[in-house]
Amino acid sequence: MPEILTTPAAVAEAARALLDAALRDGRRLLGVAGAPGAGKSTLTAALVEQLPAGSCVVVPMDGFHLADVALDRLGRLDRKGAPDTFDAEGYTALLQRLRTGRPQDASVWAPMFERDLEQALAGAIEVPGEVPLVITEGNYLLLEDGPFGPVRALLDACWLVETPEELRHQRLIARHERFGKSPRRARAWALGPDEDNARRVAASAHRADAVIHLD
């Protein structure tokens, strides 16, 4: 059964334990999974602030979103955010590179997702060879099947962030409105495509090492 973490102090302690292992034995990869709007980005940003400067870098899965022009061509733009709207193989290949990182190695450059543009930007996140802990966050880190299936085995630990459904929906609707959707369309997207993806994440929860409940 996954460990349950319910306080920021417990989460920080677990992260420091993984960092200590990385400093002792070599780089570690920590995954933070969760449904859309669960608070993954907020949690990972907090960890960067709490851990020693330069000891970790966050590499989000969202950097591997397919471009809107590609999704339109594939007929998938209306469900952007589903597993098959990402370059899952590219993300897996990046994690494999990051796993083998050593202090003497050159930096690895990862993409990031720019929400203002709703597009991924290549080569935006630098991961120097000497960084001991890489944190990656995204919806599908725990999926067992499909192109995201290999991801879990590449992570030294993977946590699942769970948030009350009502709060998660509020966050999603507000986010969609903030980035240009009308209130009606924001609600429809949060309760439609986003909720479909949330169910996929929930079905893989048993594969997490720890479940984080932070309201």
CATH code, domain with 123: 3.40.50.300
**C-alpha span between 154 and 92 (Å, rounded):** 8
Tokens matching residue 176: 């969609």
Residue tagged 């677990």 (tokens): 14
Mean residue pLDDT of the chain comes to 95
The per-residue pLDDT for 214 is 74
Number of domains in the chain: 1
CB neighbourhood size of 151 (10 A): 23
**C-alpha span between 140 and 151 (Å, rounded):** 9
Q: What is the pLDDT of residues 119-152, one digit of tens each?
A: 999 999 999 999 999 999 999 999 999 999 999 9
Whole-prediction pTM value? 0.95
Q: Which domain holds residue 63?
A: 3-213
C-alpha torsion angle, residues 11, 12, 14, 15 (rounded to 10): 120
Above 70 in pLDDT, residue 78? yes
Evaluate whether 58 touches 44 at the Cβ level (below 8 Å): yes
**C-alpha span between 167 and 124 (Å, rounded):** 31
The per-residue pLDDT for 215 is 64
Q: Say which DSSP state 67 is in.
A: P
**Residue 60 amino acid letter:** P
